Structure 1
Amino acid sequence: MDEKDMGTDLARVLVTEDEINAKLRELADQIDRDYEGRDVLLVGVLKGAVMVMADLARAMHSPVKMDWMAVSSYGSGTKSSGVVRILKDLDTDIAGRDILVVEDIIDSGLTLSWMLANLASRGPASLEVCAFFRKPEAAKVDIPVKYLGFDIPNEFVVGYGLDYAERYRNLPFVGTLAEHVYSGAKPH
């Protein structure tokens, strides 16, 4: 899927495919250096982190292990309350392990903050975060991010794992949706 396939649904591209690929290589190199000689476990947050986790792992030169968590936060409408439920837990015991949580985007930070506290309670040797996108203006809690791809504006974005109603995850770039897509109005 590309820009042409979106027709009038795309307002604008924020981060191009080339920018994403260059940032992945940069982050992979830094992670390889930082974890040299260590057995790092990448923990992806489903579903959004699938793209970045797969591409990051392929860009790395050191062997990595991967596991996944799926969590759901509850609130009213589109607002997260920070009340979290684990939908899919890790298959791996992380006690004494070096853990790198790979997240597609940090918005309010409430869900990730809860998840990090949960993982920390399991006794990992280290616990760090790699977030490919972050919306600083949307933050409600401070999340310590060791590896960051891009800070982006507080707008509704799709692509590269980010979705609207489970659509657009497979875009190779990140862009903003035209308002008619999520407001129900027809484009002019």
Structure 2
Amino acid sequence: MQIQVNDSLMNVNVLFSEADIRERIKQLSEQINKDYGTENTLIILIVLHGALLFASDLVRNLGMPTEIETVRIKSYEGTSSTGNITLVTPLPKDLTDKQILVIEDIVDTGRSIDFLLKELRKTNPKSIKVCSLLDKPEAHEFPVKADYVGFEIAKHFVIGYGLDLDGKYRNLPYVADLKKA
């Protein structure tokens, strides 16, 4: 498949199908259920907008009571990171002594999640873990590691299943990389 991006034609190559994603979410949720149990409330902090689809599918498979919160940070323009992180929405109030699971779409350079984790630690939570649909280890510039990872990928720019290109293509039911045609 090909799509038009500005003045360039781009090839779309599916990396993870809808079925692949569904199966991996089942495995991740089983591990999270095992790690947290079903008694205590888990604060789910969804990083908008990219993690929204992943988080909604994941949370439906969790067995413990959850409180769902959202936060929005911005670091991308087009296909590249700006290097600047902006907290677009404030963090939820009163996270003291709470167990927090941050759900992220992708750990790329690690700059965004590093920034968010530093901000969250200021709220004195009981614990913070990160669940990311995708991880790009070779792109990491910060020493961060997600506790739960759906898939590791090479240094590609990806779209679909919540990941976007200038706000578009989040609705694709799969994850695909883009390459010039």
Please give the residue correspondences for 1:34-183 in structure 2 after superposition, counting only pairs within 5 Å.
34-36=35-37, 37-73=39-75, 78-81=80-83, 83-179=84-180
Alpha-carbon shift at residue 65 of structure 1 (Å): 1.2
Higher helix share: 1
Counterpart CA distance in 2 for 1:88 and 1:20 is 28
Give, in angstroms, the shift of residue 178 of structure 1: 4.0
Does 1:8 find its partner at 2:2?
yes
Q: Which runs of 5+ in 2 are unaligned?
A: 4-10
Name structure 1 gaps, 5 residues minimum: 1-6, 181-188
Q: CA RMSD in A?
A: 1.7
Moved over 3 A (4+): none
Aligned residues: 172
TM-score (norm 1): 0.85
Distance in 1 (CA, whole Å) between partners of 2:124 and 2:13 is 43
Hey, what does 1:22 align to over in structure 2? 23
Hey, what's the Cα distance between the residues in 2 that align with 1:85 and 1:117?
13
**Offset at residue 98 of structure 1 (A):** 0.1
Q: 1:12 to 1:74 in 2, by over 3 A?
A: closer
Greater share of strand: 2
Alignment-mate amino acid for residue 44 of structure 2: L
One-letter amino acid of the counterpart of residue 107, structure 2: I
Instruction: State the AA in 1 paired with 2:73.
Output: V
Q: Distance in 1 between matches of 2:82 and 2:96?
A: 29
CA contact (8 A) 1:67 1:92 kept: no
Q: CA deviation at 1:127?
A: 0.6
- Cα deviation for residue 132 of structure 1 reads 0.9
Superposition TM-score, scaled by structure 2 size: 0.88
2:110–2:142 contact (8 Å) kept in structure 1: yes
Identity fraction in percent: 33
